[in-house]
A and B are shown apart, each in its own frame.
Chain A
Amino acid sequence: MSAATAEALPQRRKPIKVGKVVSRALFYLLIVIILGYILFPFYWAARTSFMPDADIYLTPVQYWPKNFTVQHYINAFSEPTFVRSIANSAIVGVSATLISILIGASAAYALARFNFLGRNVALYLILAMSMFPGISILGSLYTVLQRFHLYNTLYALIIVYLTFALPLMVWIMQSFFRGMPRDLEEAAYVDGASQFQTFWRIMIPLAAPGLATVGILTIMGCWQEYLFALSFLLSSSKWTVPLAIANTGANQASAFQIPWGDQMAETLVVMLPLIAAVLILQRRIISGLTAGAVKG
């Protein structure tokens, strides 16, 4: 290489380097903005939940509670409606999720693997079902539930939540099953397994990551659902978490003041089980679980 090119190189490289630094900086700036956008509400809720009521409205705004208190958490847990609502939400969420796994996963497997008349029609009908906004089926659901004497019961919510849980389960799982190698099922058939045994003993264990993913989505959907809960639950003993939080302080003397501190404390409390669920199920979502099944 000649001396001329050796000298020219660093000069030419410099502007590239600056550009690289700038683009790097922009990249991290973007990350910070996105993180801030996502995390700010959590931070704000946490801040509020540890402040005495009087400080919440103070100006200038306190970004960190000066008079730290856990009173709001004590209030939350001494509110029977709220404590009860956590149990109610858990019952509804877990039931709806388990039922949707049981029914939805087998439906998804059938739709993914077996050819039968009207399969695509069924598939698109199921997809169409999940397109309806909840409010549009509210009236008819109300009539149905009333007719079967399920109004104001937790069963009502479980059934209603299945209307969005099942299509989700069926759609995600059928594409999941489609992506799985057929050899495994064929090997099971040749080994003497029936279709159901193949599904139950081979496909379901292998579909665990997919089931866990959809399970998390379903539980989250149930946990935060407000409209149906508001419409179909009357007594406060049946309330689910969103209803209980929204109604916190409603029967207190100061009905016109929103108890932000208590509500924020409750919000943070009900987030914990969800985070725990995600962490527990995440262990199941191990990528490459099928590794070693086929190919060397």
Chain B
Amino acid sequence: MASVAYNHVFKRYSAEAVAVKDLSLQILDTEFMVLVGPSGCGKSTALRMLAGLEEISDGEIKIGDRVVNEVPARERDIAMVFQSYALYPHMSVYDNMAFGLKMRRVAKSEIETKVKEASKILGLDNFLKRKPRQLSGGQRQRVALGRAIVRNPQVFLLDEPLSNLDAQLRVETRINLQKLHKDLDATFIYVTHDQVEAMTMGDRIAVMKDGILQQVASPREIYDDPVNMYVAGFIGSPKMNFIPVTVSGNTAKASGFTLELPKAPGIEKGVLGVRPEDLTEVPHEGFPKIEMKVEVVEVLGSDQFLYGKVGSDDVIARLDPQFKVSVGDAVPLHMNMRRLHLFDVGSERAVL
């Protein structure tokens, strides 16, 4: 097991096409680190540079104490699970898992013990003789995991390993992956575009956008204190509401309401960030009241989403499903002031 460090890492394909810009990120030993961001944000490239599948244009990547910039992939002692699984189609499940060990000239008897062990953990005992094409998507995914586990590598790299599974299987596998991480006590680096996966699995989350690392923090911290509008909007579903406001002193004025801020932020134009779940129909001490004109109501059983307008701004609210609302109503909502965010319009940075 080992820690991983990115020190000012760049990936340039050409002068204009820069996939990763000045990435500095320390991943602790046995940590579950999730790199999350939209497609093309550089998260996969960052992972592939660590795997040795892409050259590092600038900067330094360390696995443990070793700088690996010039070390070929096969000598980095990492294992990777690909989005496509990349199982060798002409080999049986057993041979797929054994391949990495064979390449490292591990003794046959030891290979057998390790493959048997891994297949037991993953519930693949009965499929060892099958070819990948005779397996279901979920089984293939487990073989890909098994291929990584038997190697007992320093670091596990997982590149969107769940995105080819159907919704139910994805949730199951997500939970199994977390258990596996605990059992193996290994360093996991997990790339995904799915913020739910990021929130549920990561010890820490690194949010990336346009090749630039936005924020690294625990899921709770990312959710509670996003450093900028991008992170605030990316994490959380439905998205955080962004309401433009003009600020004078510590008064913020939106199109539909006026608000006293806890302190003067020192900006003139801002964007107020309110998560849908921080709006409530129940009046609270110190929660300012706003009025929402309801346009769409979605009841999901456990939740109720209201889509509508506050003044001229679109707002989504997440309320108790027992609360009866119909389209066209003007609903009074109360805003949780303690969980309010304010961003500067120009820099999009959080100022409050």
Chain A interface (Cβ < 8 Å from any Cβ of B): 181, 183-184, 186-194, 197, 201-202, 205-206, 288-296
Contacts and interface: CB of A to CB of B under 8 A. Distances in A.
Interface string B67-85: 0000011111011101011
Given A188-B99, A192-B74, A289 B89 contact: yes
B87 to A, nearest CB: 6
Interface stretch (B112-120, B126-134, B237-245, B304-312): B126-134
Interface of B: 51-53, 72-76, 78-80, 82, 84-90, 99-100, 103-104, 131-137, 140-141, 147, 151, 164-165
Contact of B86 (A192, A201, A289, A293): A293
25 contacts: A183-B82, A183-B84, A183-B86, A184-B88, A186-B51, A187-B80, A187-B147, A190-B53, A190-B73, A190-B76, A190-B78, A190-B80, A191-B79, A191-B100, A192-B100, A192-B103, A291-B133, A292-B87, A292-B89, A292-B132, A292-B133, A294-B84, A295-B164, A296-B85, A296-B137
Nearest 6 CB-CB pairings of A with B: A292-B133, A296-B137, A294-B84, A183-B86, A191-B100, A292-B132
B84 A186 contact: no
Contact of B89 (A192, A201, A290): A290
Contact of B103 (A191, A206, A288): A191
B63 to A, nearest CB: 13
Among B90, B136, B147, chain A packs the most CB atoms within 10 A around the CB of B90
B104 A181 contact: no
Contacts of A296: 85, 136-137, 140-141, 164-165
Given A197-B103, A292-B89, A293-B88, 13 more contacts: A181-B86, A183-B82, A183-B86, A186-B53, A187-B88, A188-B99, A191-B103, A192-B104, A193-B74, A292-B132, A296-B85, A296-B137, A296-B164
A271 B232 CA distance: 73
Nearest to B100: A191
A206 B89 contact: yes
B94 to A, nearest CB: 14
A74 to B, nearest CB: 47
B90 A289 contact: yes
Contact of A190 (B51, B131, B137, B140): B51
Contact of A293 (B76, B78, B79, B87): B87
B153 to A, nearest CB: 9
A187 B161 CA distance: 14
B88 A202 contact: yes
A189 B90 contact: no
A291 B74 contact: no
B73 A184 contact: no
A290 B76 CA distance: 28
B134 A187 contact: no
A192 B141 CA distance: 20
A187 B90 CA distance: 14
A193 B88 contact: no
Nearest to A290: B89
A190 B79 contact: yes
